[in-house]
Structure 1
Amino acid sequence: MIAAFEGWNDACQAASNVVRYLVKHYESREIRHIDCDAFYDYQVSRPMLCHVSGRTNLIWPQTTFYEIVLDEGHRIFAQIAPEPNYRWKEYCSQSLAIAEELDVDGVITLGSMFSDCPHTRPLPISVSDGNCQCEGDREYNGPVGIPTVLDIFAAECGMFHASMWVSIPQYLGSDECAAGTMRLLDALGHRIGFSFDVSELERKAEQWKSQASVLVRCNEQLQDYVTHLEHDYDLKQKADAEASLGAPQAEQLVKEAEAFLRQMGS
């Protein structure tokens, strides 16, 4: 089961749009819901007014679970919701109880975050797989969102668990980022052994990149900033490549690159 939550964990909706994309492009159906009243502050996650066929309807924040059939050999479940405001422990327990009802053997949480990265390079993606955590996970201490809490609860229940986070350039604001959604779909496809049709997202990602480049060209300060980010990105990529080849002094190169990046970000 994959899980994505709107809000703090969902920069440019890159994570929640993974679920929306799958629901739209593959055979899917709603199979479960979690009642919203106990978990949301309606002054934060407000209900929406909707008029359909002359009738007025209120759409309340809620958690929806989907069954998604990718092909004959691949069937997944997806959970999507605004991040709850209250009772996270109870919420996660209910979520995992539904997962167990569906015979789910593992949970993959998705997230996206604003970060210092250039739009001209592949967006950084961090994957934490079960007990084997990525470098960022080992170093991070601080506030977490509901994806991290659900991931930890899944581990405590003995489920396979993984998390996937994509970084979004913070200088581009809050518009949707198809490039980030594509990166998460690519990581998810690699995990489950499936190649997603992302042709529609490819077009949107190119448009996003072109619009970002126009914005940068119109602002000299922003140009300098992006050039700086590109330099940092390329330096780290070079150090990682050296490390993967086992070249002499590779470990030192990686440490120097990471120390340099931390210093620039402080």
Structure 2
Amino acid sequence: MSEEARMPQAVLVAAFEGWNDACQAATNVVRYLVGRYESREIRHISCDGYYDYQVARPMICHAAGYANLIWPQTTFYQIVLDDTHQLFAQIAPEPNYRWRSYCSESLAIAEELDVHQIVTLGSMFSDCPHTRPLPLSVSDGTCQCEGDKEYNGPVGIPTVLDVAAADQGFAHASMWVSIPQYLGSDECAAGTMRLLEALGKRIGFDFDMGDLPAKSDHWKAQASVLVRCNDQLADYVNHLEHDYDLKQQAAAQASLGAPQAEQLVKEAEDFLRNMDQ
């Protein structure tokens, strides 16, 4: 067993910049953990062959009078949470080429570190209000643990890695948070918090949220100011809130088997149908 994997039930958390990372909510989970807890870089995957440098461009950095090129790459971290909990984390720009080979190389490192479980993170823009808990979808390939339906459609590297992990026999989970699409691309601490809470629940650990709650409140306050200054946007958000609340009420009633559930579901369907007209 490698030195980095002495603690039992090691978990690898993976997040990727780009299409799968609305408002950096997913990759900021890894950045937050690396900055908050004892961590160190332990592995890398070379950029060569995986990136289109006109899309994921190298960066130049000047230090001590010398120019250094920083190429896109994959970095693996060991993060020690306490005496009995640790994580491994993988962060990278989404590769442009050879996804199968990239996932094989990633999973080979996971095996080398004696990883037991792989958790992929993602964030996406969606029609949801900032005034309610951000929608969260958590699945492990056998059940939809949270969220109201399975996704069908185009996928990014987190989903490909998740499927590859399942094929190789790893315990695995995929966690996605939805971000209000009307708020643009600024960082969303509320989305990062939702993913951290879900990850903590998954591994049985309460993360120190640090300044994330304050940043989340600031994000919501800024969003509320934006909505108050735009009547059309305010009306749109009101529709989203009404839709969200109806779905929550229907889900609560359905869980009790009450006859009112059918009526609430019908109201939600009628409301959505009217929005499309």
TM-score by length of 1: 0.94
Q: Secondary structure of 2:179's match?
A: strand
Matched-pair contact (CA < 8 Å) for 2:126–2:179: yes
> Would the alpha carbon gap of residues 52 and 14 (structure 1) be closer, same or farther in structure 2, given more than 3 Å must change?
same
> Would the alpha carbon gap of residues 94 and 254 (structure 1) be closer, same or farther in structure 2, given more than 3 Å must change?
farther
Q: Secondary structure of 1:108's match?
A: strand
Determine the structure 2 residue equivalent to 1:217: 228
Q: What is the correspondence of 1:118-157 to structure 2 with a 5 Å cutoff? A: 118-133=129-144, 139-157=150-168
Residues matched between the structures, number:
266
Query: Is 1:247–2:258 an aligned residue pair?
Result: yes
> Would the alpha carbon gap of residues 151 and 218 (structure 1) be closer, same or farther in structure 2, given more than 3 Å must change?
same
Shift, 1:245, TM fit: 2.5
Deviates more, 1:247-256 or 1:136-145: 247-256
**CA distance in 1 between partners of 2:48 and 2:94 (Å):** 13
Deviates more, 1:111-120 or 1:48-57: 48-57
Aligned to 1:75, which of 86, 89, 103? 86
Determine the structure 1 residue equivalent to 2:40: 29
**CA distance in 2 between partners of 1:186 and 1:255 (Å):** 32
> Would the alpha carbon gap of residues 167 and 138 (structure 1) be closer, same or farther in structure 2, given more than 3 Å must change?
closer
Matched-pair contact (CA < 8 Å) for 1:36–1:60: yes
Deviates more, 1:136-145 or 1:11-20: 136-145
Shift, 1:222, TM fit: 0.5
Q: Secondary structure of 2:90's match?
A: strand
Shift, 1:247, TM fit: 2.1
> Would the alpha carbon gap of residues 244 and 13 (structure 1) be closer, same or farther in structure 2, given more than 3 Å must change?
same
**CA distance in 2 between partners of 1:172 and 1:163 (Å):** 24
Deviates more, 1:254-263 or 1:169-178: 254-263
Query: Is 1:238–2:256 an aligned residue pair?
Result: no
TM-score by length of 2: 0.90
Matched-pair contact (CA < 8 Å) for 1:115–1:170: yes
Q: Secondary structure of 2:79's match?
A: strand
Determine the structure 1 residue equivalent to 2:169: 158
Determine the structure 2 residue equivalent to 1:205: 216
Q: Secondary structure of 1:112's match?
A: strand
**CA distance in 2 between partners of 1:181 and 1:211 (Å):** 17
**CA distance in 1 between partners of 2:148 and 2:56 (Å):** 29
Q: Deviations 1:30-85 (Å, cap 9, x if unpaired)?
A: 00000101100000001111122332111110000000000011111000000000
Matched-pair contact (CA < 8 Å) for 2:135–2:147: no
Partner AA of 1:45 in structure 2: A
Partner AA of 1:234 in structure 2: D
Q: Secondary structure of 2:19's match?
A: coil
Shift, 1:233, TM fit: 0.7
Partner AA of 1:211 in structure 2: Q
**CA distance in 2 between partners of 1:264 and 1:146 (Å):** 33
Determine the structure 2 residue equivalent to 1:257: 268
Structure 1: segments with no counterpart, 5+ residues: none
Q: Deviations 1:103-132 (Å, cap 9, x if unpaired)?
A: 001110000000000111111100002421
**CA distance in 2 between partners of 1:130 and 1:98 (Å):** 22
Shift, 1:182, TM fit: 0.3
Matched-pair contact (CA < 8 Å) for 1:2–1:107: yes
Determine the structure 2 residue equivalent to 1:111: 122
